[in-house]
Amino acid sequence: MSGRDTDGEAGGDAADGERAGGGGETEMNLVTAVNETLARELHRDEAVRLLGYDLGPIGGVYRATDGLYETFGEDRVIDTPLSENGILGTAVGMAMRGERPVPEIQFLGFFYPAFGQFMYALAKMHKRSGGALDVPVTVRVPYGGGIKSSEYHSESTETFFVHTPGVRVVCPSTPRETKGLLAASVRSDDPVVFLEPKKIYRGFEEPVPDGDFTLPLDEARVVREGGDVTLIAWGAMVRRAETAADRVDADVEILDLRSLSPIDVDAVLDSVRRTGRCVVLHEARRTLGLGAELSALINEYALDSLRAPVKRATGYDVHFPGHQVEDAYMPDAQRAQYAVEAVMDYEF
């Protein structure tokens, strides 16, 4: 079995480009954007159903589904037993019979018991069925650190999913991005792991389109243009990249990857070829984190443009620590700043 290869072949209409249905905008934070988008998709398509632990009357551990159970009822917003393996397996079965389920795994560290269903069913069913079966499942997962929580509540092991063919991996960095990317994910015919950076769930607000709004699922976003160095980040790290860019004496181009799989290779290479320098900022562990793949891509296809080796600012190669030392583990703007200054000062 196999999910369809995420090389551009797959994806519904929502993956084709940015689309807005008109209307005004409303200031909201990221978790409210999740809630608003889920409500809109439940209204729009009766095939959409939510399922997960505590997302019914309680409204989810972060209240991302607050009020949806009361509005849409227990058949559309389904409280499940505490079984990640069961949640994911049930969602795949629902998708195989024509539904468009949106399961929630409360924390990325809780995903691991469901890895059998992820590998054997979600990621490979399309390929295993010879293309006869689509598996339009969007798995929402709050991820990342920075909230001083307990063990297994702060993981950023996105590389496990990126390493798996047949699944899109999407990570928004702002409320507006969240609405556009989550709506496009739910409408995609591909399985999607949608990573929600919980550190910034309520971190800030910005205007979000009121009407129907989707963003392309496989295009990186230029957050700010620059000519000296490319700083690549995603999720909560984009805000720290912006702070670092403000502190350095360099013209920094910030690229928000948005889609971790497939990677927008053209956007990455085009930017690095113009700037000649690159820093990758991610909170995941350093070894075999996505920064390693990006560095390899740049070395393979843009080596002759580089004026300094690619540098990574990342978490450390340890299990995510307790909250007492969490701040020392998480890459901050200063760590990103030092990495940018290092590539700017480098001389061959």
Percent of the chain with pLDDT over 70: 95
Catalytic, out of 43, 126, 153, 319 = 153
pLDDT in tens, 246-283: 999 999 999 999 999 999 999 999 999 999 999 999 99
The string of pLDDT tens digits covering residues 309-329 is 999 999 999 998 888 888 889
The dotted CATH code for 25-209 is 3.40.50.970
At position 54, the amino acid (one-letter code) is: D
CB contact burial 256-293 (16+ within 10 A = b; e otherwise)? bbbbbbbbbeebbbbbbeebbbbbbbbbbbeeebbbbb
What are the pLDDT digits (tens) for 178-233?
Answer: 999 999 999 999 999 999 999 999 999 999 999 999 999 999 999 999 999 999 99
- The Cα 8–Cα 27 span in angstroms is 33
What is the end-to-end Cα distance of the chain in Å, rounded? 48
Answer whether 0.85 is exceeded by the pTM.
Answer: yes
Q: Could you tell me which CATH number the domain at 221-345 has? A: 3.40.50.920
Residues 6+ apart with CB under 8 A from 289: 159, 282, 312, 314, 315
Say yes or no: do domains 25-209 and 221-345 share a fold: yes
Residue 54: CB atoms within 10 Å = 15
Contacts of 324 (CB under 8 A, 6+ apart): none
The pLDDT-based confidence of 2 (bands split at 50, 70, 90) is very low
Exposed/middle/buried for residue 316 (C-beta within 10 Å: 0-12, 13-18, 19+): middle
The domain spans of the chain are 25-209, 221-345
Task: Write the DSSP symbol of residue 124.
Answer: B
pLDDT at 17: 67
CA distance 119 to 137: 14
The residue assigned the tokens 């439940």 is: 42
Is 153 catalytic? The answer is yes
Tokens of 301: 């296809």
